[in-house]
Amino acid sequence: MSRALAWSLCALTLAAGVCSGVLSILDAGTDWAAILPAGATPPTEGVAVSMLDVAWLVGFAVVGALVASHQPRNPIGWVLGAIPACLMAIFVGESFYFHAARSDPGDPGGVAEFGLWVANFAWVPAVLLVLVALPLLFPTGRPPTPRWRIVGWAAVAGGVLLCFGIAFLAGPLENYPWVDNPFGASWMPGFVNWVGFGLWAASSPAAVASMIVRFRRSHGVERQQLKWFTTAAALLLLGFVLSFSLAGVIGEDASWVFIALGLLGVDLAVAIAILRHRLYDIDVVINRALVYGALTATLGATYLALVLLIGLAVGRSGFAVAVSTLAVAALFGPARGRIQGAVDRRFYRRKYDAQRTLEAFAARLRDEVALDALDSELRGVVTSTMQPAHVSLWLRAPAQLPKSVV
């Protein structure tokens, strides 16, 4: 039953996405300025951005179905499945409205406005699930301790108040101000939105704090799962920073790519963590990301500096590009080694110290001939690098050793 329900939710989400995509294709190339009322925002027609949206939404839907079907008692799978379902309601509502407006420019009709009414508040549960439910419940499906349940209840209360406040507040729709709220009620006070938003604003950082508490208390598999999630969350945060920083340079549609890629990363990280596929490779992933990220930035800056300096010296020509390329290629190996050492020294100190100890022991081993001294030295190295419960060294009897050793 749970498996069927999980995959049914996934199929419904994908069907909604297909419906939205078909309507968008039918309406492509429409002169919206001549159809929509003044102040209306036309639909986005960026193909690359739309494909990225489809990718991460489909990813969330499929991963949610996989997790919910394999672990139906863990709410993480249902949370992942509900996020794209809510956001697909926005896409379908908008697509249906614009298609109706294209078919009947004078009066799209009440059904079309109903689509915008749903799209106007459908983002609230999706955002709360991403910012509160995932960090609060990941990976076990429960808060770190029973006391943290108050954060979840506060988020639920805030989401309900915010949804009702947006849905029934009289006047223009908040995100579609050219349409009056068809279900606006004069009895709905405006402060309901602010109360709901306040509860949401308080529960979101509290949920992040709960993850920090959970990480400090975790060990073993759970800690590795949290490493996957926190790494992806950090990349998503970086995506938000890059998006808002570059929006004025490359445009809002192009800057959204960073956020979409970050969301896709969170989706993949949750899938790997919950389904435990190659779970313990996360330390390698983080290490390589730090090393090659720093290496790319260093070599890129070096290349640009060399091109600029050589260009100023000899003028713009292919010579500057060729010399800079060769110089960067020659610097790759040494720079990678130095950056790897710096990363290990700063973030993987135990591994770095163990490697240095083994290198020093290998150097002394070439000159060490006394077995008693070698025994003591080897025990000390193994104890300091691997920290076992006990160490024992077994040697063959002298009669069994090769003549060269004796």
Q: Does domain 2-279 have CATH number 3.30.450?
A: no
> How would residue 270 be classed by pLDDT, with cut points 50, 70 and 90?
confident
pTM: 0.66
pLDDT digits (tens, 9 = 90+) for 182-203: 888 888 887 888 899 899 889 9
Residues of the chain with CATH 1.20.1070: 2-279
pLDDT digits (tens, 9 = 90+) for 100-148: 877 776 666 667 788 888 888 998 999 899 889 988 998 888 899 889 9
287, two tokens: 């290490």
Mean pLDDT, all residues of the chain? 76
Q: Which residue has the tokens 């697909």?
A: 88
